[in-house]
């Protein structure tokens, strides 16, 4: 009778959403590849979930016969070591919390679980989805097991950068000193409301798959790049302190300059890796040059670029610069077909470019090179989804057919 009742009630379920983040002081290199402990601290801006988010539902039931995982509606390997590491850590914390005593009200830790996860943006766009994915997985599991503690340490086991997606706004991942990683956590530097004028433009570029994944790439860099060693020991500690000051003071000049320099140094360590790794493309270099021409024309830092281990460019700007710079991008990379969908996300006003600006900044247009621009801003950390109709799994524990 109890089993029948449980089946009627359906599985216990929790759904969360989590954000993408973009580093302005980059993480590149691990000192412990199993625990995912970095060689340097890093700092990022969490992006708003209205534009980019992962949603994950975790369910547990005595009726499930095995752990299962679905990503964007397709079944995936739940045995993936990093998924398993997150599961193991969450269960360990849940066990610890219950102090070994058998709490009948709490969900049994021996039940198998089903997990479904999806992004509100195309995976093919190459927008860093593993950070949001693991932050969301850990948030949903924690909710399912009723955990309330700080979980960036667990998200870190999924993907290093995921620990920073456990908070909104401006987030530091401190490298920590301990070999067991208990002090390698994310901390919020300032909430998303701290700098209301800050905007982010993601320039989603056409085609191109990233050549080397970040996990493999950064390990080769650790093994071969003396520049990376120098960066971690001598450059990042000072930059991190500087970047925190720029953020506290909402100093866009300082923030933007340092973000660009740090992105460039990260890519320099990739070139210093042997054999070298190339993430920047001709198009990246065109965007970099464009940003510098634009800033030079205005005589100060109006836009700042940053690039991760892929070809998309992320541009920081203040709200009053967005319309003009978007027009500059549109003129520099005239959209091939989807002219009306070239700008997505937050609304962008229209701007006319002066002859002088256009002549100085828009040099050799490359049609179709930028697929679209996503306009977003800093946003909050993971959110609980209360509405049960939003669960990605049905009462049968299987993915709901998607609209
Ligand atoms: C260039 O977090 O994806 O985006 O820890 O191996 O999963 P793993 O790597 P990942 O690396 C991100 C590297 C980066 C810089 C950054 O986000 O700080």
Residue 32 corresponds to which tokens in the numbers above? 């412990």
pLDDT score for 211: 74
Residue 140: closest CA among 83, 56, 20: 56
User: What's the whole-number average pLDDT of the chain?
Assistant: 93
Q: What is the pLDDT of residues 331-363, one digit of tens each?
A: 999 998 757 899 999 999 999 999 999 999 999
| Percent over 70 (pLDDT), the chain | 93
Q: Is the pLDDT of residue 8 over 90?
A: no
Which residue do the tokens 């798959």 mark?
A: 209
From 39, 160, 213, 259, the mutation candidate for ligand 1 (largest count of ligand atoms within 8 A of CB) is: 160
Q: Is the pLDDT of residue 170 over 50?
A: yes
What residues have CB less than 8 Å from 136, skipping those under 6 apart? Answer: 16, 17, 18, 54, 55, 56, 117, 165, 382
Q: Is the pLDDT of residue 7 over 70?
A: no
pLDDT score for 136: 98
Residue 358 corresponds to which tokens in the numbers above? 């256009």
Q: What is the pLDDT of residues 128-158, one digit of tens each?
A: 679 999 999 999 999 999 999 989 999 999 9
pLDDT score for 102: 55
CA torsion, ordered 155, 159, 160, 161, to nearest 10 deg: -90
Residue 205 corresponds to which tokens in the numbers above? 């570029």
In this prediction, residues 14-34 reach a mean pLDDT of 98
What is the model's pTM?
0.95
Q: Is the CB of 308 under 6 A from ligand 1?
A: yes
Q: Which domains does the chain have, with CATH numbers?
A: 10-98+107-191+383-402 (3.30.230.10), 195-377 (3.30.70.890)
Distance CA 60, CA 155 (A): 20
Q: Is the CB of 27 under 6 A from ligand 1?
A: yes
What residues have CB less than 8 Å from 202, skipping those under 6 apart? Answer: 52, 127, 312, 313, 314, 315, 373, 374, 376
pLDDT score for 103: 55
**Closest-lying ligand 1 atom to the alpha carbon of residue 173:** 18
Distance CA 42, CA 38 (A): 9
Confidence band (pLDDT; 50, 70, 90) for 212? confident
Q: What is the pLDDT of residues 312-332, one digit of tens each?
A: 999 999 999 999 999 999 999
Residue 348 corresponds to which tokens in the numbers above? 């962008």
Q: How far is the CA of 337 from the centre of ligand 1 (A)?
A: 33
From 161, 202, 236, 239, the mutation candidate for ligand 1 (largest count of ligand atoms within 8 A of CB) is: 161
Q: Indicate which residue's Cα is closest to atom 12 of ligand 1.
A: 161
Residue 163: closest CA among 48, 19, 53, 309: 19
């Amino acid at each position: 009778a109890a089993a029948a009742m449980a089946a009627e009630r359906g599985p216990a379920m929790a759904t969360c959403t989590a954000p993408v983040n973009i580093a302005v002081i980059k993480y590149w290199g691990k000192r412990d590849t199993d625990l995912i402990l970095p060689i340097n601290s890093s700092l990022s801006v969490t992006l708003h979930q209205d534009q980019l988010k992962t949603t994950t539902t975790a369910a547990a039931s005595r009726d499930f016969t095995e752990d299962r995982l679905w990503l964007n509606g397709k079944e995936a390997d739940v045995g993936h070591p990093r998924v398993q590491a997150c599961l193991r850590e969450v269960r360990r914390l849940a066990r610890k919390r219950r102090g070994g005593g058998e709490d009948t009200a709490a969900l049994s830790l021996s039940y198998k679980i089903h997990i479904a996860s999806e992004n509100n943006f195309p995976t093919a766009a190459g927008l860093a989805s593993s950070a949001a994915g693991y932050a969301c997985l850990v948030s949903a599991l924690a909710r399912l097991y009723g955990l309330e503690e700080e979980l960036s340490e667990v998200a870190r086991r999924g993907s290093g950068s995921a620990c920073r997606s456990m908070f909104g706004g401006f987030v530091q991942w401190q490298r920590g000193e301990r070999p067991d990683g208990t002090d390698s956590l994310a901390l919020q530097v300032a909430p998303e409301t701290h700098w209301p004028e800050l905007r982010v433009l993601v320039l989603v570029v056409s085609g191109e798959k990233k050549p080397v994944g970040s996990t493999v790439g950064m390990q080769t860099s650790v093994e071969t790049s003396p520049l990376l060693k120098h960066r971690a020991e001598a450059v990042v500690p000072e930059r991190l302190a500087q970047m925190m000051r720029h953020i506290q003071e909402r100093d866009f000049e300082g923030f933007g300059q340092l973000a660009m320099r740090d992105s460039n140094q990260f890519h320099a360590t990739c070139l210093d890796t042997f054999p070298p790794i190339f993430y920047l493309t001709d198009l990246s270099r065109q965007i970099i040059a464009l940003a510098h021409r634009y800033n030079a024309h205005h005589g100060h830092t109006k836009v700042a670029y940053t690039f991760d281990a892929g070809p998309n460019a992320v541009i920081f700007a203040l709200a009053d610069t967005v319309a003009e710079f978007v027009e500059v991008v549109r003129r520099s990379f005239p959209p091939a077909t989807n002219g009306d969908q070239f700008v997505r996300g937050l609304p962008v006003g229209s701007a006319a470019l002066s002859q002088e600006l256009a002549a100085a900044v828009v040099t050799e247009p490359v049609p179709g090179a930028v697929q679209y621009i996503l306009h977003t801003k800093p946003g909050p950390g993971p959110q609980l989804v209360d509405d049960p109709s939003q669960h990605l799994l049905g009462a049968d524990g299987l993915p709901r057919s998607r609209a």
